[in-house]
């Protein structure tokens, strides 16, 4: 949820980075959307488009990669995809699971001119 | 050209939450972020908790609601410092809103600060306010499948209070199943079965709270 305020935060970061790199045109932005981040990619895409329409960023593409929830068992070290948000090792059944990825919402890269 | 950025987009709120936490930690103040669906019993839990623990712990409350100061008025009757935040429309509290209440409190005069979040099983889980722990309430009338349906809320909360157990005779509900489902998404969740109406089961909750406050105070030395 809150994809609109997230789109705003994203835009703030984009503007800062464009300024830092003396870039004039934004072609695309690549994001990593963690599965547990509670962000819906389609909503974010829509909100971003609404925000940039009519601005110098109109037409910029938002590329999103959904990062699955991955964990590591602290008992047997097995690395596995956490399915259905069940934090349990499929190998040994341990509940001691460290989350490796899938919780964050990150901007990774911008393609600019 | 490609510009590598690698930044957490939600960093702005994370940073404010961390700054809030630093202020709380400096005062060795234990801070709880209390969340649930509307009507699950957050304010009732607060009333009962304050009634019982007010002699032992110095408690302060921040109330969060879209509208009205009903909850702050209820809590104020218990004679403790309370501030009401009206979000006007926002569905959760965030670090900024919490920070805006700081001048109403003297944190060094408190042992425990409870932030009662907006009634909502979705959004509050996404936003830290600077708390030590998230605590959530699920009332028995909400059903056994909620942990699977709202995994982030259950995953982020340290404690789950299953409330309104006085209604169990009127429901087809398996407490065992609620526990199983909650522990699947959060194997380390501490679960208390309680009734804020009758007071049943709350001793464990009070004990846990006192232990957290004691542990936090000892970090000061």
Annotated domain spans of chain A: 3-68+102-112
Contact B8 A105 (CB under 8 A): yes
Report yes or no on B6 lying in a domain: no
Q: How many CB atoms sit inside 10 A of residue A93's CB? A: 10
The residues in B 88-107 lying below 8 A from A, measured between CB atoms, are 91
Chain B residues inside the 8 Å CB shell of A106? 6-9
The CATH architecture that domain A3-68+102-112 belongs to is 2-Layer Sandwich (3.30)
Angle between helices A3-20 and A41-52 (to 10 degrees): 60
Average pLDDT for chain B: 94
Measure in Å the smallest separation between the Cα of B219 and chain A Cα atoms: 26
- The pLDDT value recorded for residue B60 is 97
pLDDT tens digits for A55-69? 999 999 999 999 999
CB contact under 8 Å between A112 and B3, yes or no, is yes
pTM for the model stands at: 0.90
- Sheet containing A79-81: give its strands across: A79-81, A70-73, A97-101
By residue range, what is the domain housing residue B144? 11-215
Please state, in angstroms and rounded to a whole number, the distance separating the CA atoms of residues B83 and B60: 9
Q: Starting at the earlier edge strand, list the strands of the sheet with A105-112.
A: A61-67, A26-34, A105-112, B2-8
> Cβ separation of B10 and A111 shorter than 8 Å?
no
Under DSSP, is residue B71 helix (H, G, I), strand (E, B) or coil? helix
Q: How many domains does chain B have?
A: 1
- Nearest CA to A97 out of A79, A112, A109 is that of A79
**pLDDT tens track for A71-105:** 999 999 999 999 989 999 999 999 999 999 998 89
Among all residues of chain B, which has the CA nearest to that of A8? Answer: B9
B3 part of a folded domain:
no
Residue A52 has pLDDT above 80, yes or no: yes
| Record: contact A109-B3, CB cut-off 8 A | yes
Contact between B199 and B48 under an 8 Å Cβ cutoff? The reply is: yes
Give the closest-approach CA distance of A16 to chain B in angstroms. Answer: 11
Task: Kindly tell me if the per-residue pLDDT of B171 is higher than 70.
Answer: yes
Is the confidence at residue B221, as pLDDT, over 70? no
Share of chain A above pLDDT 90, in %: 85
Question: Which residue is closest to A36 within chain B, CA to CA?
Answer: B152
Q: Which of B135, B119, B147 is nearest to B31 (CA)?
A: B135
Q: In B, which residues are within 8 Å of A111 by CB distance?
A: 1-3
User: Cβ contact (<8 Å) for A106 and B7?
Assistant: yes
Q: Which value does ipTM take for this structure? A: 0.80
Cα separation of the two ends of chain A: 32
Residue B27 inside a domain? The answer is yes
Assess contact for A113 and A25: CB atoms under 8 A. yes
Mean pLDDT of B125-143: 95
- Distance in Å, alpha carbon of A50 to nearest chain B alpha carbon: 18
């Amino acid at each position: 949820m809150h994809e609109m305020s997230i789109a705003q935060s994203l835009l703030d970061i984009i503007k800062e980075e464009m300024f830092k790199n003396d870039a004039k045109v934004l072609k695309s932005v690549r994001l990593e959307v963690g599965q547990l981040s509670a962000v819906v990619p389609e909503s974010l895409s829509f909100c971003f488009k609404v925000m940039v329409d009519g601005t110098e960023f109109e037409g910029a593409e938002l590329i999103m990669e959904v990062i699955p929830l991955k964990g590591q068992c602290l008992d047997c070290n097995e690395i596995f995809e956490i399915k259905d948000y069940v934090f349990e090792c499929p190998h040994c059944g341990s509940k001691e699971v460290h989350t490796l990825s899938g919780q964050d919402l990150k901007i990774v890269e911008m393609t600019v001119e | 050209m490609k510009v590598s950025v690698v930044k957490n987009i939600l960093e702005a709120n994370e940073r404010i939450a961390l700054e809030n936490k630093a202020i709380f930690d400096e005062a060795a103040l234990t801070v709880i972020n209390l969340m649930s669906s509307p009507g699950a019993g957050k304010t009732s839990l607060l009333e009962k908790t304050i009634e019982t623990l007010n002699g032992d712990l110095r408690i302060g409350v921040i109330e969060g609601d879209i509208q009205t100061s009903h909850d702050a008025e209820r809590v104020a009757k218990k004679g403790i410092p309370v501030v009401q935040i009206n979000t006007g429309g926002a569905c959760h509290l965030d670090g900024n809103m919490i920070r805006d209440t700081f001048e109403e409190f003297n944190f060094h005069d408190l042992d425990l600060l409870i932030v009662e979040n907006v009634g909502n099983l979705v959004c509050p889980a996404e936003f830290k306010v600077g708390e030590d722990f998230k605590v959530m309430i699920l009332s028995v009338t909400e059903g056994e499948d909620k942990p699977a349906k709202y995994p982030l809320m259950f995953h982020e909360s340290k404690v789950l209070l299953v409330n309104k157990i006085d209604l169990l005779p009127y429901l087809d509900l398996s407490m065992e199943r609620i526990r199983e489902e909650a522990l699947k998404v959060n194997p380390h969740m501490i679960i208390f079965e309680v009734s804020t109406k009758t007071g049943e089961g709350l001793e464990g909750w009070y004990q846990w709270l006192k232990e957290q406050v004691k542990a936090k105070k000892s970090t000061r030395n």
